[in-house]
């Protein structure tokens, strides 16, 4: 079951996905969105495929799981969490000897991914809150909140923890065209939590920075390359350039599951192209001439030289990122190995 985010903030509707196709459609249509949240949903999609498979032999069940994995992975290409979660659930099933064991294992691994993500968000909040100055006015872009994760959020996790520590004066939220995740979702989440929020248009960010109204910018991520280049919602790169021009720290908050050490830099990150209709309409209302050509890249890549720090569930990485990110992974593998042997 997931919140159908297309209807927020007006309507809080819960959708029940009863098939892997329904999960894939929910991801494709942004009913569920945000890198960790689509990974979690896709993980449950594989578990549903295991539940629904009519296979009588484990090998045949595995064929069904591979088919489900391909369907889910094809929905959205940029967030690495999606493929990461799908592969993790399918890999867990590969060690099972019976169909029933495969069903139980896929479900429990999907549940663990969701539980771990919530814990990661709280850890990101704890690591990031001390980076937020006292009485801070924080700019954020898109929605890297509870809605985009298992709960609490990444960038909004840092903001929530900083708010609990009494450090937040105001959160300034970019509306985030074309789909308005900032206006619809981030503004709603912050209001629900009683955190002071001011909504601005995307093109007002430079003005607010120039007037000294922003102390720090913080965003989430869909994929981070080995050198620290960050893919996030379209417009993030612009925020980072503006932050640098105004000497404002620009932080990225994301769990290790968003970091893709297999690609050297951001030029290798696939950028999702979405329907031009999202540009030519707002909330279903056409705002552009019928025959105008429009392009709609959903993400952009911020070069790591513009990033002041990457706040992960395992600590804060600083430049040079090729070394600091690799070190976080080494430590995380070590501590998982220690936990397994304890
Ligand atoms: O297209 P979306 O809404 O899925 O894009 C989401 C973002 O860009 C978020 O900032 C990112 O996934 C982090 S969510 C914790």
Q: What's the CA-to-centroid distance between 144 and ligand 1, angstroms?
A: 6
Q: Is 193 a catalytic residue?
A: no
Of the candidates 46, 157, 160, 150, the one whose C-alpha atom is nearest the C-alpha of residue 102 is 46
- Residue 332 pLDDT grade (very low, low, confident, very high; cuts 50, 70, 90): confident
Ligand 1 atom closest to the CA of 141, numbered from 1 = 10
For tokens 């309409």, name the residue: 281
Does residue 328 carry a pLDDT above 90? Answer: yes
Q: Over the stretch 120-144, which tens digit does the pLDDT of each residue have?
A: 999 999 999 999 999 999 999 999 9
Query: 253 by DSSP, 3-state: which?
Result: strand
Q: Are 96 and 46 in contact (CB under 8 A)?
A: no
Rounded to two decimals, what is the model's pTM? 0.96
Q: Which two three-digit tokens encode residue 267?
A: 């030029």
Q: What's the CA-to-centroid distance between 265 and ligand 1, angstroms?
A: 19
Q: Which two three-digit tokens encode residue 184?
A: 């619809």
Query: Phi, psi at residue 80, to the nearest 5°?
Result: -75, -20
Of the candidates 72, 81, 43, the one whose C-alpha atom is nearest the C-alpha of residue 220 is 81
Ligand 1 atom closest to the CA of 81, numbered from 1 = 12
What is the arithmetic mean of pLDDT over 204-233?
98
- Given the residues 222, 229, 260, 313, the one annotated as active site: 222
Helix, strand, coil shares of the chain as percentages rounded to 5? 50, 15, 35
| Residues belonging to the chain | 342
Q: What is the pLDDT at residue 341? A: 66
Residue ranges of domains in the chain? 2-123, 128-341
Instruction: Report d(CA 187, CA 253) in Å as an integer.
Output: 18
Instruction: Report d(CA 180, CA 177) in Å as an integer.
Output: 5
Distance from chain centroid for Cα 310: 14
Q: Which of 33, 118, 182, 270 is the best mutation target for the ligand 1 pocket, counting ligand atoms within 8 Å of the beta carbon and taking the most?
A: 33
Query: 233 by DSSP, 3-state: which?
Result: strand
Query: 173 by DSSP, 3-state: which?
Result: strand
Instruction: Report d(CA 177, CA 17) in Å as an integer.
Output: 28
Does residue 339 carry a pLDDT above 90? Answer: no
Q: Which of 27, 41, 184, 221 is the best mutation target for the ligand 1 pocket, counting ligand atoms within 8 Å of the beta carbon and taking the most?
A: 221
What is the arithmetic mean of pLDDT over 138-159?
98
- Residue 116 pLDDT grade (very low, low, confident, very high; cuts 50, 70, 90): very high
Q: Are 85 and 278 in contact (CB under 8 A)?
A: no
Q: Over the stretch 92-103, which tens digit does the pLDDT of each residue have?
A: 999 899 999 999
Q: What architecture (CATH level 2) is domain 2-123?
A: Up-down Bundle (1.20)
Q: What's the CA-to-centroid distance between 142 and ligand 1, angstroms?
A: 7
Spell out which residues line ligand 1, taking CB within 6 angstroms. Answer: 33-36, 79, 142, 144, 148-149, 153-154, 181, 220-222, 232-233, 298
pLDDT, mean over the chain: 97
Q: What's the CA-to-centroid distance between 100 and ligand 1, angstroms?
A: 35
Does residue 338 carry a pLDDT above 70? Answer: no
For residue 39, cis peptide bond before it (omega within 30 degrees of 0)? no
CATH class of 128-341: alpha beta
């Amino acid at each position: 079951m997931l919140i159908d985010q297309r209807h927020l903030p007006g309507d809080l509707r819960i959708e029940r996905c009863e098939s892997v196709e329904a999960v894939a459609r929910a991801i494709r249509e942004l009913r569920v969105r945000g890198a960790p949240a689509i990974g979690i949903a896709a993980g449950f999609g594989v578990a549903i495929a295991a539940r629904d498979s009519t296979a009588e032999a484990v090998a045949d069940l595995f064929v069904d799981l591979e088919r489900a994995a391909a369907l889910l992975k094809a929905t959205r290409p940029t967030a690495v969490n999606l493929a990461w979660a799908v592969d993790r659930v399918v890999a867990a099933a590969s060690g099972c000897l019976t169909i029933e064991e495969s069903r139980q294992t896929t479900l429990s691994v999907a549940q663990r991914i969701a539980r771990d993500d919530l814990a990661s968000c709280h850890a990101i909040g704890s690591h990031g809150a001390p980076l937020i100055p006292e009485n801070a006015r924080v700019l954020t872009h898109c929605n890297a909140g509870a809605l985009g994760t298992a709960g609490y959020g990444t960038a909004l996790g840092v903001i929530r923890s900083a708010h609990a520590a009494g450090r937040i004066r105001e959160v300034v939220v970019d509306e985030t065209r074309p789909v308005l995740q900032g206006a619809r979702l981030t503004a709603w989440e912050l209001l629900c939590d009683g955190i002071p929020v001011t909504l601005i248009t995307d093109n007002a960010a430079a003005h607010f920075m120039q007037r000294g109204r922003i102390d720090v910018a913080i965003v989430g991520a869909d994929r981070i390359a080995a050198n620290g280049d960050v893919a996030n919602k379209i417009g993030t790169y612009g925020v980072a350039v503006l932050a640098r021009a105004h000497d404002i720290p620009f932080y990225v908050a994301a769990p290790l599951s968003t970091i893709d050490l297999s690609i050297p830099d951001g030029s290798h990150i696939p950028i999702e192209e979405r329907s031009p209709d999202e540009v030519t309409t707002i909330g279903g209302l056409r705002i552009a001439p019928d025959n105008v050509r429009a392009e709609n890249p959903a993400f952009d890549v911020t070069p790591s030289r513009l990033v002041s720090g990457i706040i992960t569930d395992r600590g804060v990485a600083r430049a040079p990122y090729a070394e600091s990110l690799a070190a976080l992974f080494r430590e995380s593998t070590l501590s998982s190995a220690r936990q397994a042997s304890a």
